[in-house]
Chains A and B, each alone.
Chain A
Amino acid sequence: MMEWETVIGLEIHTQLATQSKIFSGAPTAYGAPPNSQACAVDLGLPGVLPVLNKEVVNMAIKFGLAIEAQIAPRSIFARKNYFYPDLPKGYQISQYELPIVEQGKLAIRLEDGSEKIIGVTRAHLEEDAGKSLHEDYHGMTGIDLNRAGTPLLEIVSEPDMRSAEEAVAYMKKIHALVRYLGISDGNMQEGSFRCDANVSVRPRGQIEFGTRSELKNINSFRFVERAINFEVERQIDLLEAGGEVIQETRLYDADRDETRSMRSKEEAMDYRYFPDPDLLPVEITSEHIESIRATLPELPEAKKDRFISDYGLKAEDAVILTASREMADYFEAVVESSGEAKLAANWVIGELAGYLNREDIAIGDSPITAGMLAGVIKRISDNTISGKIAKDVFDAMWNGEGDADTIIEQKGLKQITDTGELEAIVDKVIADNPEQVEQFRAGKEKVLGFFVGQCMKATGGKGNPAQLNQMLRDKLGK
């Protein structure tokens, strides 16, 4: 049986978070009524001309610096010519021969904890097209040009990835990066972050690439993984059956979990790229690049290293906490107000992430704010409640029952610290379980856990496990 190797390159389109469009003053906000955010320039009316929004250039520079790429001192906008109803001018303004960003790189972390460097061939600026609306038009097609002219940064990787998992890790890394940089909201439901995947397979050991297919317009991490895996299997099956992969564009259908052909290489369009005579070359001085560099926020790698050194976190925890800027900021806010870095890390990675995942909520929308989580952590560290009770408090906070202190107060969850009260409970538990007492005294240390559990149960969880442990040892040891 032949062993196959997968080769993947990604083209990621990320919408830049500018107030206005790339070549017009129209706003870019999502979800407005159709064609309410398209001005004469976006509609491609006769006689209108594009004027470059300088902010997109600065955003592209930020991205380039973050991936240690070369920023072109001179880049050119070109026209990509094709007809489509949602492309008002009959051409898309993009960059072709001289893109603004070239030759960057990015490290991804693999499941075994090792790192891999993925090359970024180029990143270029372009305008988005509008949308064709096929529903609710009685068999006709509606055109919404609100999105036309929205700025995009297209980030093209080298064919450096060898599995769907690596592709997802890379895509997540780029996603986190553009959000760290504040150049995109990365909203995948709204199409602000989407990708095309170039996928091929080759016999392991072969130098040349196999024939690739291009999977279009995938807008979630899960779909990227599924689409690639489906496509890899399809290509291997085809080759093993003696067939050939043809170079083509394929569409991933999430409902059916399959890819299907859109057009072959023969049908591929000739876009007739040429420099756009309406726009001047973009010239960027090294002084300007340095001024942008000075505004860069702390990037994930640097933040991770700082979390390890400043907070004494384990490397794997630091990686998780810096995976997104929002999570890192949340974590730091919890640390700042609780003063407990390790507890904060455990709670953010454990309980909070669990709840967020379960209900598919972004950390920015968490019903438990960083201040609230810090509140419960403070009560753990000052022994007001046990870690176990804290989980109940957390659950109550999640359900909107107030902050930690209110819940502890209202539900009477305060830990019992009165030694007399606890002693009575301990004595009762010992008296009720003579068999286990015998076992413990015969040297079966594990039974101590049973006693602690019984005592906790008797206190309704409000006992301090460490305190109970000590009291039990003292009494049983007699």
Chain B
Amino acid sequence: MHDKTLAELARDLNSGTYSSEELTRHYLERIASHDSQLNSYITAATDAALVRARAADEQRAAGEAGPLTGIPLAHKDIFCTDGLKTSCGSKMLDNFIAPYDATVVSRLNEAGMVTLGKTNMDEFAMGSSNETSFYGPVKNPWDTGTVPGGSSGGSAAAVAARLAPAATGTDTGGSIRQPAALCGVTGLKPTYGRVSRYGMIAFASSLDQAGPLTQTAEDAALLLNAMAGFDPRDSTSLDRAVPDYSAGLGADLTGLKIGLIKEHFDPGLDGGVADAVDAALAEYKKLGAEVVEISLPNTHLSVPAYYVVAPAECSSNLSRFDGVRFGYRCENPTDLADLYKRSRGEAFGPEVKRRIMVGTYALSAGYYDAYYIKAQQARRLIRDDFVRAFESVDVIMGPTAPSPAFKLGEKADDPITMYLSDIYTIAANLAGLPAMSVPAGFVNNLPVGLQIIGNYFDEARLLNVAHRYQEVTDWHQRIPSGFE
């Protein structure tokens, strides 16, 4: 059953091939038997999952099943789950059980989905390799000596290894797309404001966006149908109708204008990845699309602007972790300052501390204009580049990541090199645009992702463009050996 997509699982559940309880049990058993190789889960839900699965079976028996009823999935451990530990990959929240569900979680629960567990991630979503997690690194199922990417590395690895048929993730600078690319799965970061951020532990509020990691674009559409929409508890979510993302799949691509980002074919790009992207574009031409080269002249500002804005926001967002009300508290604090210093000092990892310090500096009196304001100006230029580009093209394509999965530990001590892993993905966050990564081949037996960036709220087109490609390729169907 674990080689099936969500769409296939729904058909089998409807036809009675197996029940949700059997399906859920199967995945829980796979997690128990296989995850020790990957460390993709922080918490498995076990009993609670079976209770929900049985409830879903009853719902189906009563004729009330929807398209996702009874299908299991995993949540990134950044989404608050009522009664189930939410650690955010940090020692700080190792003891934290949220008293409420994130909106994404409650919407998927309402759709009848069964939570298998919470997936591993970089601490507070800060990282591109899943090596900053308090719970240890996640290993890439294609080669357990390499990283799965990050920060949604646990979700990507779990879907790739079929330890979950799908998972949720969050993307602040590429945290859905880059691990999707490195693990060979499909990942979608929706338009900023499309999916509620309520209950999703904030890293950088103006950039964070939740989205699905799935085997196929068709599955991503199914999940987005349930996840998207206005939430009165999130002021930045947009009150705008949600189309049926599944309905548009299969539409003809004849005449589709694809913009190829000139600047992304730079010396930092792995030759094999470049070839895979070229091959993908050749497929699109066969499907009737037209490829034109475009320029995003301010794209080189993305990484510097991001590494001011994201740390600035995180330095403030993470202030609530102070050892006073919840989370880690140091033992026997001597006074208030000691309580703060040791609770935060002992519970945050080095990458989180680095970003808090960078962000605190960038917001300080005397530096604010030079860093934060300047970064916001750069952000506007980057967005304007895209707005201009979308006047002449329908979607923009390029590589998701500059290279396939790198070795565990290879970049862990070199933050700048690590930050460059997100060089192609960050711009979409700064601009607030929807973007996907779809499996587009292999280099040295490691998956490569094609990034597709769409115009604002153009997720339906984005999903169809990915879907049509998946109809003529099978990269997304490959399963890493040992996990078949």
Residues of A within 8 A of B (CB): 40, 43-52, 79, 81, 83, 85, 88-91, 143, 270, 272-274, 277-280
Residue of A nearest to B79 (CB): A47
Contact A81 B319, CB 8 Å, known A40-B100, A48-B198: yes
One digit per residue, 1 when the CB lies within 8 angstroms of any chain A CB and 0 when it does not, for chain B 351-375 equals 0000000001001110010001000
- Tell me the minimal C-beta distance from B262 to chain A in angstroms: 31
Q: Is the Cβ of A47 less than 8 Å from the Cβ of B312?
A: no
Known contacts A47-B199, A273-B368; can you find 6 more A-B pairs with CB under 8 A? A46-B98, A46-B202, A51-B232, A81-B319, A83-B340, A272-B316
B326 contacts the other chain (Cβ, under 8 Å)? yes
> Which bracket fits the contact residues of B?
35 or more
Q: Is the Cβ of A51 less than 8 Å from the Cβ of B233?
A: yes
Question: Interface centre among B322, B336, B364, by most A CB within 10 Å?
Answer: B322
Residues of B within 8 A of A278 (CB): 202, 205, 235-236
- Tell me the minimal C-beta distance from B190 to chain A in angstroms: 17
What are 13 A-B interface contacts by the 8 Å CB criterion? A45-B99, A46-B93, A46-B98, A47-B86, A47-B102, A48-B199, A51-B234, A85-B336, A90-B320, A90-B322, A272-B360, A272-B363, A278-B235
One digit per residue, 1 when the CB lies within 8 angstroms of any chain A CB and 0 when it does not, for chain B 445-481 equals 0000000000000000000000000000000000000
B200 contacts the other chain (Cβ, under 8 Å)? yes
Taken together as a complex, chains A and B put the C-alpha atoms of A49 and B313 apart, in Å, by 14
Among B93, B319, B325, which residue has its beta carbon within 8 angstroms of that of A91?
B319
Q: Is the Cβ of A277 less than 8 Å from the Cβ of B326?
A: no
Taken together as a complex, chains A and B put the C-alpha atoms of A274 and B200 apart, in Å, by 21
Contact A270 B365, CB 8 Å, known A43-B325, A277-B313: yes
B156 contacts the other chain (Cβ, under 8 Å)? no
Q: Is the Cβ of A79 less than 8 Å from the Cβ of B98?
A: no
Q: Is the Cβ of B322 less than 8 Å from the Cβ of A83?
A: yes
Residues of A within 8 A of B372 (CB): 274
B197 contacts the other chain (Cβ, under 8 Å)? yes
Taken together as a complex, chains A and B put the C-alpha atoms of A201 and B202 apart, in Å, by 47
Contact A47 B202, CB 8 Å, known A83-B319, A83-B340: yes
Q: Is the Cβ of A81 less than 8 Å from the Cβ of B316?
A: yes
Taken together as a complex, chains A and B put the C-alpha atoms of A289 and B28 apart, in Å, by 59
Residues of A within 8 A of B100 (CB): 40, 45
Among A43, A49, A83, which residue has its beta carbon within 8 angstroms of that of B198?
A49
- Tell me the minimal C-beta distance from A56 to chain B in angstroms: 14
Q: Is the Cβ of B322 less than 8 Å from the Cβ of A274?
A: no
Q: Is the Cβ of A44 less than 8 Å from the Cβ of B312?
A: no
Question: Interface centre among B198, B325, B360, by most A CB within 10 Å?
Answer: B325
Residue of A nearest to B360 (CB): A272
Contact A47 B325, CB 8 Å, known A79-B316, A89-B319: no
Residues of B within 8 A of A83 (CB): 319, 322, 340
Taken together as a complex, chains A and B put the C-alpha atoms of A49 and B234 apart, in Å, by 6
Residues of B within 8 A of A (CB): 79-80, 86, 88, 93, 96, 98-100, 102, 197-202, 204-206, 232-236, 312-313, 315-316, 318-322, 324-327, 336, 340, 360, 363-365, 368, 372
Taken together as a complex, chains A and B put the C-alpha atoms of A208 and B47 apart, in Å, by 73
- Tell me the minimal C-beta distance from A140 to chain B in angstroms: 11
Residues of B within 8 A of A88 (CB): 320, 324-325
Taken together as a complex, chains A and B put the C-alpha atoms of A280 and B205 apart, in Å, by 12
Among A45, A48, A274, which residue has its beta carbon within 8 angstroms of that of B312?
A274
Question: Interface centre among B315, B319, B340, by most A CB within 10 Å?
Answer: B319
Residues of A within 8 A of B319 (CB): 81, 83, 89-91
Residues of B within 8 A of A46 (CB): 80, 86, 88, 93, 96, 98, 201-202, 320-321, 326-327
Q: Is the Cβ of B324 less than 8 Å from the Cβ of A49?
A: no
Question: Interface centre among A272, A278, A280, by most B CB within 10 Å?
Answer: A272
Taken together as a complex, chains A and B put the C-alpha atoms of A278 and B98 apart, in Å, by 20
Taken together as a complex, chains A and B put the C-alpha atoms of A51 and B205 apart, in Å, by 14
Taken together as a complex, chains A and B put the C-alpha atoms of A89 and B200 apart, in Å, by 15
Taken together as a complex, chains A and B put the C-alpha atoms of A49 and B198 apart, in Å, by 6
Among A45, A81, A143, A277, which residue has its beta carbon within 8 angstroms of that of B98?
A45
Residues of A within 8 A of B336 (CB): 85
Taken together as a complex, chains A and B put the C-alpha atoms of A51 and B318 apart, in Å, by 19
Among A44, A50, A274, which residue has its beta carbon within 8 angstroms of that of B235?
A50
Residue of B nearest to A52 (CB): B235
Residue of A nearest to B206 (CB): A277
Taken together as a complex, chains A and B put the C-alpha atoms of A84 and B320 apart, in Å, by 10
Taken together as a complex, chains A and B put the C-alpha atoms of A43 and B326 apart, in Å, by 10
Q: Is the Cβ of B96 less than 8 Å from the Cβ of A279?
A: no
- Tell me the minimal C-beta distance from B87 to chain A in angstroms: 10
- Tell me the minimal C-beta distance from A41 to chain B in angstroms: 9
Q: Which A-B residue pairs are the 6 nearest by beta carbons? A: A90-B319, A272-B363, A277-B206, A277-B205, A47-B199, A46-B201
Residue of A nearest to B309 (CB): A277
Residues of A within 8 A of B368 (CB): 272-274
Taken together as a complex, chains A and B put the C-alpha atoms of A270 and B367 apart, in Å, by 11
Residue of B nearest to A89 (CB): B320
Taken together as a complex, chains A and B put the C-alpha atoms of A43 and B318 apart, in Å, by 14
Residue of B nearest to A40 (CB): B100
Q: Is the Cβ of B316 less than 8 Å from the Cβ of A49?
A: no
Residue of B nearest to A77 (CB): B235
Q: Is the Cβ of B363 less than 8 Å from the Cβ of A81?
A: yes
Taken together as a complex, chains A and B put the C-alpha atoms of A85 and B329 apart, in Å, by 13
Among B98, B316, B327, which residue has its beta carbon within 8 angstroms of that of A274?
B316
